């Protein structure tokens, strides 16, 4: 096989492949009761694609998202990211992979350090990565670029999360994620805590960023309208299982 053929094969491969993934939590001391949070799901997400995950509260959506980033360990099953079986990875290897996958949560303030100014939060990823290689001036410039990209004002940079609105904080989270430059994002009800008018703005921003940076996404929501707007395909979950996948 030629090198070129192998190269194209990699590009055609889904970024994420999940096979028979399960997460059981033991829920009772008596009778060895298990709660089957995720009960054997299989799916793939192509590069640049947004897969929507929809279903009733408690059906296992968040657990699937957390499993994909290995924030929780699966009971069994396989997760492949860019051709690598991530379940088999050791801690150090996983740490290297982690910047390539990021999660956006419902409550933006939970992912921001309350004692860090917005500018510091946004610059933290590249302060850690490019320590010494970037001057203060360059860093400031990069932060302002990101702030502008997500539609915040330059003066927000000096504020703390509690001095911004929920929508503004979710923009900060997006700017911070863009600083990390991931390939894959799990967005877990990213607008559920926001006002309806602000929700639409944040969703539009996410669509723009997604196409600009070619991101691949798992988009979790229980709102079918939002889902239809954001996703290429929609997987419907019920009691830990995917019961159907719809082209959108």
Ligand X SMILES: Nc1ncnc2c1ncn2[C@@H]1O[C@H](COP(=O)(O)OP(=O)(O)OP(=O)(O)O)[C@@H](O)[C@H]1O
Binding site for Mg ion (CB under 5 A): 62
Nearest to 167 by CA among 142, 143, 190: 190
Near ligand X in 200-229, by CB under 6 A: 222
44: partner contacted, choices ligand X, Mg ion, none (Cβ within 5-8 A by kind): none
**Site for ligand X contains 154 (CB under 6 A):** no
The tokens for 123 are 């610059």
Distances (CA, A) of 166 to 25, 103, 162, 173, 183: 32, 17, 9, 11, 25
Q: Are strands 50-55 and 101-104 parallel, antiparallel or unpaired?
A: unpaired
Minimum Å gap between C-beta 228 and ligand X is: 18
Measured CA to CA, the distance from residue 217 to residue 88 in angstroms comes to: 23
Partner from ligand X, Mg ion, none binding residue 222, C-beta < 5-8 Å depending on class: ligand X
| Nearer of residues 50 and 63 to Mg ion, judged by Cβ | 63
Q: Which stretch binds ligand X (CB under 6 A): 58-66, 85-93, 122-130, 200-208?
A: 58-66
Of the candidates 15, 18, 21, 37, which one interacts with ligand X according to CB under 6 A?
A: 37
The DSSP code sequence of 60-94 is SHHHHHHHHTTSS--SEEEEEETTEEGGG--HHHH
Q: How far is the CB of 184 from ligand X (least distance, A)?
A: 19
Dihedral Cα 109, 114, 118, 120, nearest 10 deg:
-130
Closest by CA to 122, choosing from 143, 101, 106, is 143
123 binds ligand X (CB under 6 A): no
Taking CB under 6 A as the criterion, the residue among 15, 21, 54, 59 binding ligand X is 59
Nearest distance, CB of residue 247 and Mg ion, angstroms = 24
Which of Mg ion, ligand X, none does residue 171 bind to, with CB < 5 to 8 Å depending on kind?
none
Residue 189, H or E segment: none
Q: Which residue is nearest to Mg ion (CB)?
A: 62
Q: Any alpha helices (H) in 150-195, and if so which ranges?
A: 166-180
> Based on CB atoms, which residue is closest to Mg ion, 179 or 187?
187
With H, G, I as helix, E, B as strand and everything else as coil, classify residue 20.
strand
- By the rule CB under 6 A, 190 interacts with ligand X: no
Q: Which range in 61-69, 89-97, 115-123, 161-169 contacts ligand X by CB under 6 A?
A: 61-69
Sites of contact with ligand X (CB under 6 A)? 25, 35, 37, 55, 57-63, 222
């Amino acid at each position: 096989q030629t090198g070129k053929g192998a190269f194209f094969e990699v590009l055609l491969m889904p970024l994420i492949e999940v096979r028979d993934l399960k997460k059981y939590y033991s829920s009772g001391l008596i009778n060895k009761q298990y709660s089957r949070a995720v009960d054997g799901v299989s799916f793939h997400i192509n590069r640049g694609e947004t897969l929507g995950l929809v279903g009733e509260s408690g059906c296992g959506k968040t657990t699937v998202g957390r499993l994909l980033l290995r924030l929780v360990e699966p009971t069994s099953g396989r997760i492949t990211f860019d051709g690598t079986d991530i379940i088999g990875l050791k801690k150090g290897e996983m740490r290297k992979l982690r910047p390539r996958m990021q999660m956006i949560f419902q409550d933006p303030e939970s992912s921001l350090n309350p004692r860090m100014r917005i500018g510091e939060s946004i610059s933290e990823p590249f302060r850690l990565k490019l320590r010494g290689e970037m001057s203060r001036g360059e860093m400031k410039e990069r932060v302002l670029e990101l702030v502008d990209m997500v539609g915040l004002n330059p003066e927000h940079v000096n504020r703390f999360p509690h001095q911004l609105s929920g929508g503004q904080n979710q923009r900060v989270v997006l700017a911070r994620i863009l600083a990390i430059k991931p390939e894959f994002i799990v967005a877990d009800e990213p607008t559920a805590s926001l006002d309806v008018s602000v929700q639409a703005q944040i969703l539009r921003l996410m669509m723009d960023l997604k196409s600009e940076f070619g991101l691949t996404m798992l988009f979790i929501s229980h709102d079918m309208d939002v889902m239809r707007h954001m996703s290429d395909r929609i997987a419907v979950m019920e009691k830990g299982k995917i019961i159907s996948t719809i082209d959108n």
